[in-house]
């Protein structure tokens, strides 16, 4: 049985380094480390050429996810964010099969039919993530949203960010139980509270990996997963290789899990 696909969010390498080196410089690192997919970060782009990145990624045998910080639903507007069409087009120019956005302000008045028309005109699959905000980082709006998605038979999956639930004091275990069947992408990150009270993403300890195992039981066994926590060190290939191995084994009962 093939192992699940592992992606690396390029934000893991630190915003300053990624902007300094350019996102294309990480393609060979991910390929050498055995990753399957690369997550481009729109907020970290500088002067990268999408066509060149798309070609280089294909050459290395990687697939792409395009992450945009845009919110799908804006406050007080029933139609989807007008930027969605542009974001889908940008994702396609980067060769991405998936576009990741935040939920935004979802209400019962949102226009799912217009959303369906927009998605029907793009080959890119939409992934909607729980972020760290009060309106987009709680379980209940996602339950309502995916009820509507099912009713309208929309080609949308959830990006389940394990760490982000902490920002709104939500239970990741409850979220996985209630939303797991909708998940198409898992952002893995452990979270710690600094002395100043700020929550920050950190690499996983053994206890975090155990929790992630429990969460993944509520999702498809081969669900795509990504590192979105600090991967910082002198040998980025070796470090990335270790974490690709760890994440690929999570939720695979027939495999002996790798350890940090």
- Structural domain includes residue 127: yes
- Structural domain includes residue 1: no
Average pLDDT over residues 243-249: 96
The end-to-end CA distance of the chain, in Å, is 23
- Structural domain includes residue 177: yes
pLDDT at 2: 77
- pLDDT tens-digit map of 66-104: 999 999 999 999 999 999 999 999 999 999 999 999 999
- Structural domain includes residue 257: no
pLDDT at 109: 93
pLDDT at 254: 52
| CATH label of the domain that carries residue 162 | 3.20.20.150
- Structural domain includes residue 254: no
DSSP 12-73: GG-HHHHHHH-GGGGHHHHHHTT-SEEEEEGGG-SS--HHHHHHHHHHTT-EEEEEEEEEEE
- Structural domain includes residue 153: yes
- Full domain range(s) for residue 38: 6-249
Overall domain count for the chain: 1
Return the percentage of the chain with pLDDT > 70, whole number.
97
Return the percentage of the chain with pLDDT > 90, whole number.
94
Kindly tell me if the per-residue pLDDT of 245 is higher than 90: yes
- Structural domain includes residue 80: yes
Kindly tell me if the per-residue pLDDT of 256 is higher than 60: no
- pLDDT tens-digit map of 45-74: 999 999 999 999 999 999 999 999 999 999
Q: Are 13 and 231 contacting, i.e. CB atoms less than 8 angstroms apart?
A: yes
């Amino acid at each position: 049985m093939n192992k699940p696909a592992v992606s690396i969010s390029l934000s893991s390498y630190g915003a300053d380094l990624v902007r300094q080196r350019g996102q294309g410089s990480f393609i060979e690192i991910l390929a050498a480390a055995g990753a399957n997919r690369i997550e481009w970060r729109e907020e970290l782009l500088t002067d990268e050429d999408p066509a060149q990145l798309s070609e280089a990624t294909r050459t290395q045998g990687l697939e792409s996810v395009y992450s945009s910080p845009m919110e799908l639903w804006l406050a007080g507007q029933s139609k989807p964010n007008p930027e969605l069409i542009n974001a889908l087009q940008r994702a396609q120019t980067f060769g991405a099969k998936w576009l990741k956005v935040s939920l935004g302000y979802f209400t019962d008045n949102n226009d799912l039919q217009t959303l369906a028309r927009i998605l029907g005109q793009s080959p890119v699959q939409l992934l909607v993530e729980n972020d760290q905000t009060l309106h987009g980082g709680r379980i209940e709006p996602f339950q309502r949203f995916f009820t509507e998605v099912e009713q309208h038979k929309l080609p949308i999956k959830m990006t389940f960010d394990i760490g982000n639930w902490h920002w709104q004091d939500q239970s990741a275990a409850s979220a996985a139980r209630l939303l797991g069947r909708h998940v198409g992408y898992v952002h893995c990150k452990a979270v710690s509270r600094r002395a100043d009270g700020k929550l920050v993403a950190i690499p996983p300890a053994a206890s975090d990996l155990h929790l992630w195992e429990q969460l993944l039981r509520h999702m498809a066994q081969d669900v795509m997963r990504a590192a979105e926590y600090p991967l910082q060190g002198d040998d980025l290939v070796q470090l990335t290789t270790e974490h690709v191995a760890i994440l690929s084994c999570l939720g695979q009962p027939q495999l002996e899990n790798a350890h940090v």
